[in-house]
């Protein structure tokens, strides 16, 4: 097993995770010319010298570093000479950090990077939304070394086995990302975050319609929590059996203790508490709503103890859960006809405070109405 672990630039991560199955740390500067997958205002500020020092220390401990250049949108600037020059300067700065690998979503940027710094390996970002053989083969023909598959492919074993049998490059699966299955907001969210981490753009600190809508859906329809295609620590072996052994964890916006907790759970292949502890459920959005709407939306009772809003998944009751998907393809089925995830949700999901949960649903809907002029 090879784990790819988020980095928040804390050297404690290196000390605690060396001599384990952690293969790679990944991160980027909070903002740069290209942008990335997370909003700058959520990320720790870091200097070029601090980046270089972390990468050198990680590599000295036997852990490689993957620098993110994974913007989903370059703003239509690729023919602009001034923008092009700044792009090349950015790529040179990244190469100067000593990183041996970068993550890229844009085919244009892959070509430029391979020409400019051919010695640096390229991982295709999940933002490229690769979930078919034809699309994967296109990127492989460009000479990439690794592909991070679309999160929605995690439980499509027919496709995973096909990709593994036909491709030479390494395949990566994201494990604990918490998104709606086939999320309708995903593309807009990726583009939004890309612009929100580009240094030429004004900071975007609120108005997160995508996440408000996504979280509201999870609260109103708890079955979506089970449909979200996360991978349990206990189920990594199922993927290794078909030849996929590289797994990516999130989030780099998390504090060190939480990154370590999540990583240790996947290293040990076991977690006996609430599976939601390992997921990126966005309860912190309630603080954003409080700040954005200046108290006109009543979030105060919810913020007193956010843990009472956290769904509880009885992880040990999910033993054998993944086996259903070996013989069923969600992409070719109607969930309302199937009912498997709905049945599982009734068996394994608990909610500590139903009254607060209803209040949270109301809060998110109020924020959505404000943003959509209703």
Q: Are 36 and 199 a contacting pair, CB within 8 Å?
A: no
User: pLDDT tens digits, residue range 217-247?
Assistant: 999 999 999 999 999 999 999 999 999 999 9
Q: Are strands 349-350 and 312-313 parallel, antiparallel or unpaired?
A: antiparallel
Instruction: Please list the residues that pair with 198 across neighbouring strands.
Output: 32
Higher pLDDT, 83 or 205: 83
The residue-averaged pLDDT of 137-156 equals: 98
Question: DSSP letter string over 206-260?
Answer: S--HHHHHHHHHHHH-THHHHHS----GGGHHHHHTTT--EEE---TTS-HHHHH
Q: The domain containing residue 197 runs over which residues? A: 2-371
Distance in angstroms (rounded) separating the CA atoms of residues 39 and 251: 12
The percentage of the chain sitting over the pLDDT mark of 90, rounded to a whole number, equals 89
Q: Are strands 64-69 and 146-148 parallel, antiparallel or unpaired?
A: unpaired
**Apex CA 38: angle with CA 32 and CA 40, to 5°?**
50
* Number of domains forming the structure of the chain: 1
- Omega before 25 cis (within 30°)? no
Give pLDDT, residue 308.
86
Read off the CATH number of the domain in which 35 is found.
3.20.20.70
Give pLDDT, residue 203.
62
Render the burial of 287-321: b for 16+ CB within 10 Å, e for the rest. ebbbebbeeebebeebeeeeeebbbebebeebeeb
Rounded to the nearest integer, the mean pLDDT of the chain is: 95
Distance in angstroms (rounded) separating the CA atoms of residues 364 and 374: 13
Q: Which residues contact 337 (CB under 8 A, 6 or more apart)?
A: none
The percentage of the chain sitting over the pLDDT mark of 70, rounded to a whole number, equals 98
The residue-averaged pLDDT of 309-337 equals: 96
Quick check: 205 pLDDT over 70?
Answer: no
For CA atoms 123, 197, 87, 89, give the dihedral sign: negative
């Amino acid at each position: 097993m090879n784990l790819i672990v988020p980095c928040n630039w804390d050297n404690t991560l290196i000390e605690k995770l060396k001599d384990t199955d952690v293969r790679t740390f990944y991160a980027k500067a909070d903002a740069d010319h290209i942008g990335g997958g997370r909003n700058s205002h959520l990320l720790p500020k870091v200097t070029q010298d601090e980046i270089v020092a972390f990468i050198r220390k990680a590599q000295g401990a036997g852990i490689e570093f993957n620098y993110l250049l994974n913007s989903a949108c370059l703003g239509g600037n690729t023919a602009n000479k001034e923008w092009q020059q700044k792009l090349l300067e950015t790529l040179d700065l990244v190469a100067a950090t000593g990183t041996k690998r970068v993550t890229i979503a844009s085919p244009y940027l892959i070509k430029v990077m391979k020409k400019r710094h051919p010695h640096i390996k390229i991982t295709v970002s999940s933002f490229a939304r690769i979930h078919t053989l034809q699309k994967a083969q296109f990127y492989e023909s460009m000479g990439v070394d690794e592909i991070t598959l679309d999160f929605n492919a995690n439980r499509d074993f027919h496709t995973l086995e096909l990709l593994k049998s036909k491709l030479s490059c390494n395949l990566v699966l994201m494990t604990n990302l918490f998104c709606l299955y086939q999320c309708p907001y995903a593309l807009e969210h990726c583009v939004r975050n890309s612009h929100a981490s580009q240094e030429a753009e004004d900071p975007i600190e609120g108005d997160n319609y995508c996440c408000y809508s996504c979280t509201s859906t999870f609260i109103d329809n708890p079955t979506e929590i089970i449909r979200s295609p996360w991978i349990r620590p206990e189920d990594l072996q199922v993927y290794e059996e078909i030849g996929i052994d590289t797994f990516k964890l999130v989030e780099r916006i998390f504090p060190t203790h939480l990154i370590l907790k999540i990583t240790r759970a996947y290293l040990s292949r076991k977690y006996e508490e609430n599976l939601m502890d390992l997921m990126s459920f966005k309860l912190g959005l309630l603080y954003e709503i409080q700040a954005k709407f200046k108290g006109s939306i009543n979030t105060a009772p919810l913020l007193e103890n956010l843990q009472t809003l956290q769904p509880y998944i009885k992880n040990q009751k999910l033993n054998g859960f993944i086996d259903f998907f070996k013989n069923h393809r969600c992409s070719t089925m109607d969930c309302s006809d199937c009912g498997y995830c709905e049945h599982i949700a009734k068996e394994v999901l608990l909610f500590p405070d139903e009254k607060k949960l209803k209040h949270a649903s109301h809060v998110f809907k109020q924020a959505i109405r404000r943003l959509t002029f209703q």
